[in-house]
Amino acid sequence: MQADSAANSNRSGANQSGDSGAIVEAKAQRGINALDSTGELLMALAAAGQPLSLRDLAAAAGMPPAKAFPHLVSLLKIGLLSRKDDGCFATGPLSFELGLIALQRLSPTRDAEPEIASLAVSTGMSVAAATLGPLGPTVIRLEESARPQHVSLRVGTVMSFVNTAIGRVFAAQMPEDELEGWLAQEPIRLAGASAGTAAKPALSRDYRARLARIRETGIDDAFDTPVPGIGTLAAPVFDHTNSIRLVIAVIGPSSGFDRSPEGAIGRALLAATQRLSWRFGLFGAGSGGAARG
């Protein structure tokens, strides 16, 4: 029995030692520095959105052409890049294949889930995600705060284009003629204007100025309206075509809610939406995005 116990103890110690060694080894693992440089070249070409010469591509990646060229030769060999008749580097057949696979697997709602949950934890507030449904901006995901909030917001709620931050962020990315068509249905939405007054005040000078500011800053807010005591910050998520796919909103008690885009909540929200936009294929996702049309 004592021998068995000793053997088990030795095996246990060996396993613990092996586990510790594996953890240390995992922490000590490093990437291949050369591939980091290769990745910088690919990122620079993707950000440019057009074929680039060796000199321009190397400059965009922040490296000398002599350093960049061997990486580009390898990328040409495996088909990630191709070369035009004028010598410029462009995406290759393998890039197209990988891009198509990524687009086929893209699910904005599913892919946004980790960011929504993380944002709710980091801010301590509720976080909603909305998409443009057949009736207007529609909440499709709501991560509720542990603190009770008196707000009439549920999955399936359709938001006003005029009187809610979520709706205005969508409106800011629409051509005016398209927005006018949506505004005809304002009375059916949460906080929507009445049928007799919906369209006219929505296209006022103040409303247009508000939408222009959203396009510039990439964020909008609503405090104590339409729901007294509730504050909201909302920001857009774009895809590879620079089309708006989602709006993410942080919602909480307006008292003590830092409404500034430069505040902790605003920075966290913008960082989350920019990461999602990058994931959905938008390069240069640090901007507020341009209106379509």
The verdict on 87 and 210 lying in the same domain is: no
The verdict on 164 and 221 lying in the same domain is: yes
The verdict on 158 and 52 lying in the same domain is: no
**176 domain residue, yes or no:** yes
The verdict on 214 and 130 lying in the same domain is: yes
What does the pLDDT look like over 80-104, one tens digit per residue?
999 999 999 999 998 888 877 766 6
What does the pLDDT look like over 18-76, one tens digit per residue?
444 444 444 456 667 778 889 999 989 988 889 999 999 999 999 999 999 999 999 99
Domain with 67 in it: 33-104
Q: Dig out the tokens for 260 from the structure.
A: 């500034």
**How many domains, in total, are found in the chain?**
2
**168 domain residue, yes or no:** yes
Phi-psi region of 257 (alpha: psi -120 to 50; beta: other; left: phi over 0): beta
Give dist(CA 251, CA 234) in Å, integer: 9
Cα-Cα-Cα-Cα dihedral sign, residues 106, 107, 108, 112: negative
**Is pTM beyond 0.75 here?**
no
The verdict on 111 and 68 lying in the same domain is: no
Give the CATH number of the domain where residue 38 resides: 1.10.10.10
Q: Dig out the tokens for 58 from the structure.
A: 């190397």
Q: What is the DSSP letter of 245?
A: E
**pLDDT < 50 stretches in the chain:** 1-27, 195-201, 286-293
What is the H or E stretch that residue 237 is in? strand 230-238
Q: Which residues pair with 253 in a beta bridge?
A: 230
The Cα-based distances of 134 to 8, 105, 124, 131 in angstroms read 65, 23, 31, 10
